[in-house]
Amino acid sequence: MENVHGTTVAAAHGDEHSFDVKLIWKTFRILLYITVFELILAIGYYKFEHSFSNQLLVKHLLNGVFIILTLAKAFFIVAEFMHLRHEIKNLIMTIAVPALLFLWFIGAFLWDGSSYKNLRNRYDRNHVEQSHQKVEKKEPGHEAEKPGTVE
């Protein structure tokens, strides 16, 4: 209101009354539930991965769920903990619009990665053989730092 001069003071006192402790704990509970849910999915997949007929499809679906839940968590942290949802729209836009670059960033680079893999698998038979060669299972925890050392 009277923040024509001295935004500092106005910003410091402006949202004094809108600070809601209940909302903070609610946000905390949401974040906690989402994380627990993610863990249940991850552990559930780990326990039952061999009983799925199409393992790869299930894993991809699960990863999609993880992405959505992660973005949900990010939204709650930025919006409530960092209070961005309660700032004015101009400010929100200067933060949110550049973040959209991530869509291109992630899409382009993951596409590039998988394209590299496919091309290499097609033209480099040696690489394919090498990367599918099974190695003997080592017991982690007894792994010595130098390769070849057996405990």
Considering only residues 51-80, where is the footprint of other proteins by CB under 8 A?
63, 66-67, 70, 73-74, 77-78
**Cβ atoms of residues 25 and 14 within 8 Å:** no
Binding mask 82-101 for other proteins (x = CB under 8 A): xx--xxx-xx--xx--xx-x
Q: Closest distance between other proteins and the C-beta of residue 135, in Å?
A: 5
Instruction: Out of 33, 48, 52, 105, name the contact with other proteins by CB under 8 A.
Output: 105
Q: What DSSP letter does each residue of 27-91 carry, written as one string?
A: HHHHHHHHHHHHHHHHHHHHHHGGG-SSHHHHHHHHHHHHHHHHHHHHHHIIIIIS-GGGS-HHH
From candidates 42, 48, 52, 61, binder to other proteins by CB under 8 A: 42
The dihedral through the CA atoms of 69, 24, 85, 77 has a sign that is negative
From the CB of 147, what's the least distance to other proteins, in Å?
9
* Nearer residue to other proteins within complex by CB, 57 or 112: 112
Hey, CA dihedral for 112, 113, 118, 120, is it positive or negative?
A: positive
Residue 33 interacts with other proteins (CB under 8 A): yes or no: no
Say how far apart CA 94 and CA 87 lie, in whole Å: 11
140 binds other proteins (CB under 8 A): yes
**Which of 33, 35, 37, 61 lies at the binding interface for other proteins (CB under 8 A)?**
35
